[in-house]
Every structure is written in structure tokens, then in C-alpha cells.
Amino acid sequence: MKQQIIMKLLTGMAGLGMVLGVATAHASPEQDKQDLIKYYSTKYPNVKLEDYVYGALAFDPDSKAQYDAIMEFPPFDSQIDAGRKMWETPFKNGKTYADCLPNGGKMIAGNYPMFDETKGKVVTLEDVVNDCRVANGEAPFKLSDPKTIGVLSAYMRTLSDGMIMNVKVQSPKAMAAYEDGKRTFFRRTGQLNFACATCHVQNAGTRLRSELLSPAVGQAVHWPVFRGGENLVTLQGRYSGCFKMIRAVPPAEDSTVMNDLEYFHSAMSNGLPMKASVFRK
């Protein structure tokens, strides 16, 4: 039954409109997440839910063992250190990031993206950092720039290590943004005609050539990642990469489309623990 719903969502615009019509009335983010988990766990009863945070590694013990070995001495430590220096360096006015972020910036990453009722839109943790800079008379970073906000956020997320992902969708406007992100996730696009869901729902746990595909649940908890050990990739940078893979023009990073996608996508990891930066091949 649930499987059918997901399949319907995957069948493209005509089916999608209909199913979403129903979904808007009934499906909460929690229900959507449970539907996905049911879909995966029916196919892969031996993979534990808590292991979904390891993505494709959860389906491949050998790669997971390699990953564990690399993570004992993470090759990206110096970048986390650089991020810490950025975090600790006061603005020209003497204030710091900790002064203007909720809870001093600790154990907050799992609350983002958040629907900002005043602004009437989804804001990411990176947006909030930039707001903080601007409020203190500093120039905003170019969002998703690996060298600035990327490095800083890699450190910031160590301050939320272990926090449970807790993205909330409460008002009707927030729900509309969530639905927008969900639509992007399930809509086929690009010359190759894939939806995110084609790979990360329908074929999760399966090999695309030599790449094992990770499930959508658990994908949002460990960003940025360091690919090949040192190459910092932000979450929206990864979305862009996947859009390009299917020969679609990626939406601009930090656009409403991307932020709504991140909102939906992150809510699918609700209940799972955040993990500061990880290695990816």
C-alpha cells in the first residue's frame, strides 16, 4: 500500500498532482518519513534504521570498515580547525557568532532548516549565520562557498554533534514550503528524466554502475562532507551535483527551490542523530 503511494509519486507529473492532492490533506512530514522507512525496511529488513545515517555504507560492510578506519584520523581535521578559528574570531565590533545565535550556537543544527514565520520562508543554518554577520556590520558570505561558510559550518556542526534532527513544519505556510520541497524531490527532471526519488527511494541500496545508492532517510544529518578526504561539499552543493548528473540545470543554491528541498529532505531525517562532518569517497 505505502509502496504503491511512493510508486505513484514516482510516476511523474500526472500521477504526482493527484497523489499530492491527497497527500496535502493527509500526510504529515512524520507520515511521509514513516512511509519511506517502511518502503526501505520492507526491501532491506536487515539494515537498521540507525544505520541509515551512514548512507550507502549501511549497505556495504567492506566500505563501512574502510570509512571507520579513515574516520579514526579524519584527513579534514585542519579544515575543522580553520573553521574553529573563524568561529572564535570576533567581528570588528567585538561581538562573536556565539553572541547572536540561539543557545550560543550549540546544539541547534538539528533545528534547521527552519520556517521563519516573519520572513515567510525557509531559512537554513547558513542563512542564520549570514544574518548574524550582517547584523554585526560584516559582509555576508556567498552561500555554499566551501572556503568560507563551508569551513565555518563544518566547525559549527561539531557543536551539535549527537543532537537529534528536529525539523518542524507547523504553520500552513510552512507546510506549503515543505510540499514544495517534496514536489521537487519526487519530480522527474533533466534530460535523463530522473527524480531524486528514482535513485534515493526506488533504487536505494542498489548499485548504479559501481555506486551504491543511499536512502533519503538519514542523508541530511552529516554536512558538509569531505569527499576524497579533503574536498568540502555542502548539502546544497551535493544537490547541485545530483541535478547535474541527470543533466538538469541545478536551481541556484540558497534559492527558494533549494531551501524548500532541504527543508523536506531534512525532515525525512527527523529523529536521527546529527553527526559532524564525515568522509565520503
Partner 1 sequence: MRKLHQLITACALGAITLTGSAFAADTAKELTGKQIAFDRSKGNCLACHAMPTVPDAESPGLIGPPLIAMSARYPDKAKLRAQIWDATVANPSSSMIPFGKNGVLTEAEIDKVADFIYGL
Cite the active site residues.
Answer: 242
- Which among partner 1, ligand HEC, none contacts residue 143 (Cβ within 5 to 8 A by kind)? none
Which residue number places its CB atom closest to ligand HEC? 196
Is residue 41 within 8 A of residue 2, CB to CB? The reply is no
Which stretch in 10-18, 27-35, 47-55, 102-110 sits in contact with partner 1 by CB under 8 A? 10-18
Is residue 185 within 8 A of residue 261, CB to CB? The reply is yes
Q: What is the rounded CA–CA span in Å between residue 221 and residue 253? A: 18
Residues in 32-91 that interact with ligand HEC by CB under 6 A: 55-56
| 244 touching partner 1, by CB under 8 A | no
Chain-centroid distance, C-alpha 238: 9
- Which among partner 1, ligand HEC, none contacts residue 7 (Cβ within 5 to 8 A by kind)? partner 1
Q: What is the rounded CA–CA span in Å between residue 20 and residue 181? A: 12
| 151 touching ligand HEC, by CB under 6 A | no
Q: What is the rounded CA–CA span in Å between residue 69 and residue 79? A: 19
How many residues contact ligand HEC, by CB under 6 A?
22
Is residue 217 within 8 A of residue 204, CB to CB? The reply is no
CB of 91 to partner 1, least distance (A): 47
Planar angle of CA 154, 67, 235, nearest 5 degrees? 35
Positions touching ligand HEC (CB under 6 A) are: 55-56, 194, 196, 198-200, 208, 211, 213-214, 219, 225, 238-239, 242-243, 245-246, 261, 265, 280
